[in-house]
Chains A and B, each alone.
Chain A
Amino acid sequence: MIIVGVMLISTGVTAGVWYYFTNKYTNVGYMPVQPVAFSHAIHADQLGVDCRYCHNAVEKSWYSNIPASSVCMNCHNQVLKDDPKLALVRESFQSGKPIHWIQIHKLPDYVYFNHSVHVDRGVSCVECHGQINKMDEVYQAKPLSMSFCLDCHRDPAAHLRDPKLITDLDWKPASPDQQRADGQKLMDQWHTESLQNCSACHR
């Protein structure tokens, strides 16, 4: 009896940890309320603003920047210039104080991740961030766990696309076979390696 009981409990605990202690359970769907109700769906999808208009350093830096208030004001000094929802942006632009955005996508400090390397070599925003262009409020769509990274690193051909389509988050390959063939072609062209050694990310 005791042995069976111990076995059941340990199985239960293991299963619980297995499921509940993962990024998939703890992080996916994290959707904090942001200080400004900015809708990606309106800007990126309806209006067709390219991701890189605001996140302009994504092709140059490891870090994809959050746009400065002055970038918002480029349009909003003409459009909706008295909208109460944008009060905070106008205030920030005038006072020089930053808007306190809440960070959603976060990697641990022991992981090296470089946006520019991925974006410049055919990994679309959608691969890690999901369909941001359909989100009114941004939430974490993918687990961003180590296995998530490795899924792609082990088989880049299934995910790479033409750099022209990087910010087209609605784009779908014609067929899985087509994707594989095109991805392989890009890998050959760029000499992309399937980096799986520890020090590729844990530097």
Chain B
Amino acid sequence: MKTIPPTCPVPDIGPKYWRSMDQLADTPEFRQWAEREFPAGASEMKDPVTRRNFVKLMSASFLLAGLGVTGCRRPVENIYPFSKMPEGYAHGVAKFYATAMPTRGTAVPLLAKSNDGRPTKVEGNAGHPDSNGSTDRFTQASILNLYDPDRATRFAKNGGNVTREEALDFIGQLSKTVLANGGQGLGFLAEQSSSPSRKRLQKALAEKLPKAQWCEYEPVDFSIHQQAASLAFGKPVAPYFKIDKAKVILSLDSDFIGGEENLQLNIQRFAQGRRMEKSTDSMNRLYAVEGLMTLTGANADHRLRLAPSAVAAVAARLALEIVQSDLGDSVKTLAASSSISANEKWIVECAKDLLANRGQSLVLAGHRQPLAVHLMVNAINAALGNIGTTIVLQEAAETMAGSITDLAKSLNDGKVETLIILGGNPVYNAPADLNWAAAQDKAKLVVRLGYYEDESAPKKGWSLPLAHYLESWGDARTPDGTLVPVQPLIEPLFGGLTELELLSRVAGLEITSAYEIVRATFRSLATSSEEDWKKFLHEDFSPTAPPCLRRSDLILRPSQPRSLPPPFNRLHCPRRTILR
């Protein structure tokens, strides 16, 4: 029965290969092992009561049992119809609801599909004026977050389970305490948000709790675009890029189709500029300067591989070609940097192409680049006449939030005793210099509203589960400033709270339901008409609501970057060990 495979013949001449150290050493144990087919447990084959025999017998028994008794009987299966028919419901026919996924600074308008009350798929809402039905990969994946088995599923105090009611009672008491002393020693750490309702609650909090500290933190922060534009144009503005209007695009370390904000719009608009329908149509041209392999670089017609630290020099060199006059000495020195001397020709040709397409070109700087690069890029775009054509400046509100650095300092100084963390995971992704984990532990009481029970979930303090956006009422603004609703498709699976609900409770407001909060915001921003509200929810955007980020027709003149802000005023780019 058992055949012993012949041992591999070892050739007399040529290299001798070996498969283990034992074989190389040619020990007696190895020789014995190699001769046996089954090194261990092979003697079992002679034993009548073995695993194999057992499985053989049992499978035959199951087969007989199946044939004789249950196999021929049809199991009784029940159908359970509704007791009361929900209106307009038909089993097996999917329903679609208009909602939006809030992102850092904006939102993606969506049509969410619901099968028998379960959200199953999201797609862009083509009815929205600034969407045309596009989404990005984060939006597509967000539906899986809803059913993530790692979600925070419980209310917890010091790591032990508590009920939702107990947690809400605690927040009520906390609210009384902080309201009594005007928010002394209270700190909030939130994520960025475009929600007008949250802004409204934040204002209410600032009035009721004037001593409380409100800070926002995003590990990947795109707000530098707004920061630079506001600085360059002398008033708070946010740039809005119309990539489809540009004939020549230059990306300075900006992965605008793979890793920047509003990907869903950028991808589509870039593709729009490359679509040719008639033989006379022309394509846009993309130049990319980057140190990483990105989607933008892969799509570029001309790609210049350069260390991220040298991108500032490219921007300065371009400014020299394009802005020409009125440049500060620091820019000139930077433009003469040796890091780009080998690529002089590439940069000059690119500048020529940009100059040949005044008003139809676009220079983009990536969010990883420092403020100085963004300022130079603003000056270049203004000199090219792109402001108002390929870049629209929208009026923006000045941020009312402090930074995580301020909050860490307050925590370390003992000024913040009660810390409320809304979302995020600062222990994991706050800058390492801050040593946030230690700073967070210094607070006497930490209340954390989180989507996961992760590193930031306080061991001593309260953990509250956060509701998914498909479980919450909310609102947001899309990149063009349009107000969109965030509608729930399902009750919170684990009784989770939304930011709005928690904030309104902390502020001790009468209205604590997220729906009522959003409804009230809509009333104050748009109309109080019930019909308009219904239309708002149905169409997914409000044409009547005046967006606070209104498109500004005014073309502002940028101030020239005479001297660069630190660290570039010293003209030392931070040296990074990145392959060149």
- What residues of A have a CB within 8 angstroms of the CB of B80 in the complex? 98-101
Q: Which residue of A lies closest to B86 (CB)?
A: A68
Q: Is the CB of A102 within 8 A of B83?
A: no
Pick from B72, B79, B81, B91: contact of A26, CB below 8 A: B72
Give 1 or 0 for each of A53-96: 1 = CB within 8 Å of chain B CB. Answer: 00011001111011111110000000000000000000011011
A172 proximal to B (CB < 8 A): no
Q: Which residue of A lies closest to B85 (CB)?
A: A68
- What residues of A have a CB within 8 angstroms of the CB of B93 in the complex? 57, 60-61
Roughly how many angstroms separate A23 CA and B74 CA in the complex, as a whole number?
Answer: 11
Shortest B120–chain A CB gap in Å is 15
B13 proximal to A (CB < 8 A): no
- What residues of A have a CB within 8 angstroms of the CB of B76 in the complex? 32, 102
Q: Is the CB of B81 within 8 A of A68?
A: yes
Roughly how many angstroms separate A63 CA and B74 CA in the complex, as a whole number?
Answer: 22
B82 proximal to A (CB < 8 A): yes
Roughly how many angstroms separate A11 CA and B524 CA in the complex, as a whole number?
Answer: 85
Shortest B207–chain A CB gap in Å is 45
Q: Is the CB of A92 within 8 A of B83?
A: yes
Shortest B559–chain A CB gap in Å is 62
Roughly how many angstroms separate A106 CA and B82 CA in the complex, as a whole number?
Answer: 20
Shortest A60–chain B CB gap in Å is 5
User: Number of contacts between A and B (CB, 8 Å)?
Assistant: 67
Give 1 or 0 for each of A40-62: 1 = CB within 8 Å of chain B CB. Answer: 00000000000000001100111
Known contacts A70-B85, A71-B85, A98-B83; is-contact A61 B77 (Cβ 8 Å)? no
Q: Is the CB of A65 within 8 A of B84?
A: no
Roughly how many angstroms separate A91 CA and B42 CA in the complex, as a whole number?
Answer: 66
B298 proximal to A (CB < 8 A): no
Pick from B78, B84, B92: contact of A62, CB below 8 A: B92
Known contacts A61-B91, A62-B92; is-contact A103 B77 (Cβ 8 Å)? yes
Known contacts A30-B74, A57-B91, A65-B90; is-contact A102 B82 (Cβ 8 Å)? no
- What residues of A have a CB within 8 angstroms of the CB of B91 in the complex? 57, 61, 63, 65
Roughly how many angstroms separate A66 CA and B72 CA in the complex, as a whole number?
Answer: 27
A27 proximal to B (CB < 8 A): yes
Roughly how many angstroms separate A71 CA and B89 CA in the complex, as a whole number?
Answer: 13
Q: Which residue of B lies closest to A114 (CB)?
A: B92
Q: Is the CB of B78 within 8 A of A102?
A: yes
A203 proximal to B (CB < 8 A): no
Chain B contact residues, majority secondary structure: loop
Q: Is the CB of A61 within 8 A of B82?
A: no
- What residues of A have a CB within 8 angstroms of the CB of B82 in the complex? 68-70, 98
Known contacts A57-B92, A60-B93; is-contact A70 B83 (Cβ 8 Å)? yes
Chain A contact residues, majority secondary structure: loop
Roughly how many angstroms separate A167 CA and B74 CA in the complex, as a whole number?
Answer: 30
Q: Which residue of B lies closest to A61 (CB)?
A: B92
Give the contact-size bracket for chain A.
Answer: 20 to 34
Shortest B541–chain A CB gap in Å is 28
Roughly how many angstroms separate A101 CA and B77 CA in the complex, as a whole number?
Answer: 9
Q: Which residue of B lies closest to A21 (CB)?
A: B72
Roughly how many angstroms separate A101 CA and B82 CA in the complex, as a whole number?
Answer: 11
Q: Which residue of A lies closest to B94 (CB)?
A: A61
- What residues of A have a CB within 8 angstroms of the CB of B77 in the complex? 102-103, 106
Known contacts A100-B78, A101-B78, A103-B77; is-contact A68 B83 (Cβ 8 Å)? yes
Within 8 A of B (CB), among A11-36: 26-27, 30, 32
Pick from B74, B78, B83: contact of A97, CB below 8 A: B83
Pick from A56, A61, A93: contact of B83, CB below 8 A: A93
Roughly how many angstroms separate A60 CA and B77 CA in the complex, as a whole number?
Answer: 24
Q: Is the CB of B92 within 8 A of A102?
A: no
Shortest B426–chain A CB gap in Å is 45
Roughly how many angstroms separate A61 CA and B82 CA in the complex, as a whole number?
Answer: 16
Pick from A27, A60, A92, A97: contact of B90, CB below 8 A: A60
Within 8 A of A (CB), among B28-74: 72, 74
Q: Is the CB of B79 within 8 A of A102?
A: yes
- What residues of B have a CB within 8 angstroms of the CB of A62 in the complex? 92
Shortest B572–chain A CB gap in Å is 64
Pick from B74, B81, B84, B90: contact of A66, CB below 8 A: B81
Roughly how many angstroms separate A14 CA and B81 CA in the complex, as a whole number?
Answer: 42
Most chain A beta-carbon neighbours within 10 Å: one of B78, B83, B84 = B83
Q: Is the CB of B72 within 8 A of A68?
A: no
- What residues of A have a CB within 8 angstroms of the CB of B90 in the complex? 56-57, 60-61, 65
Q: Is the CB of A103 within 8 A of B81?
A: no
Known contacts A70-B84, A93-B84, A96-B84; is-contact A63 B79 (Cβ 8 Å)? no
Shortest B294–chain A CB gap in Å is 39
Known contacts A101-B78, A102-B78; is-contact A68 B92 (Cβ 8 Å)? no
Shortest B72–chain A CB gap in Å is 7
Within 8 A of A (CB), among B80-116: 80-85, 90-93
- What residues of B have a CB within 8 angstroms of the CB of A32 in the complex? 76
Shortest B84–chain A CB gap in Å is 4
Shortest B35–chain A CB gap in Å is 46
Q: Is the CB of A103 within 8 A of B78?
A: yes
Roughly how many angstroms separate A99 CA and B84 CA in the complex, as a whole number?
Answer: 11
Pick from A30, A67, A95, A96: contact of B81, CB below 8 A: A67
Shortest A22–chain B CB gap in Å is 13
Shortest B150–chain A CB gap in Å is 30
Most chain A beta-carbon neighbours within 10 Å: one of B77, B78, B81, B85 = B81
Known contacts A57-B93, A60-B90; is-contact A65 B81 (Cβ 8 Å)? yes
- What residues of B have a CB within 8 angstroms of the CB of A102 in the complex? 76-79
Roughly how many angstroms separate A141 CA and B407 CA in the complex, as a whole number?
Answer: 75
Shortest A65–chain B CB gap in Å is 5
Q: Which residue of B lies closest to A74 (CB)?
A: B85
Shortest A193–chain B CB gap in Å is 23
Roughly how many angstroms separate A99 CA and B78 CA in the complex, as a whole number?
Answer: 9
Shortest B146–chain A CB gap in Å is 24
Q: Which residue of B lies closest to A65 (CB)?
A: B91
Shortest A107–chain B CB gap in Å is 12
Nearest 7 pairs of A and B residues by beta carbon: A61-B92, A57-B90, A68-B82, A98-B80, A63-B92, A68-B85, A66-B81
- In the complex, 10 of the A-B residue pairs with CB atoms within 8 angstroms, ordered by the A residue number, are A27-B74, A30-B74, A57-B93, A65-B81, A65-B91, A68-B85, A69-B83, A96-B84, A101-B78, A101-B81
Chain A contacts to B: CB under 8 angstroms: 26-27, 30, 32, 56-57, 60-63, 65-71, 92-93, 95-103, 106
Q: A70-B83, A99-B81 are in contact. List 16 more A-B contacts (CB 8 A).
A: A26-B72, A30-B74, A63-B91, A65-B81, A66-B79, A67-B85, A68-B81, A69-B82, A69-B84, A70-B82, A71-B85, A97-B83, A98-B80, A98-B81, A102-B78, A102-B79
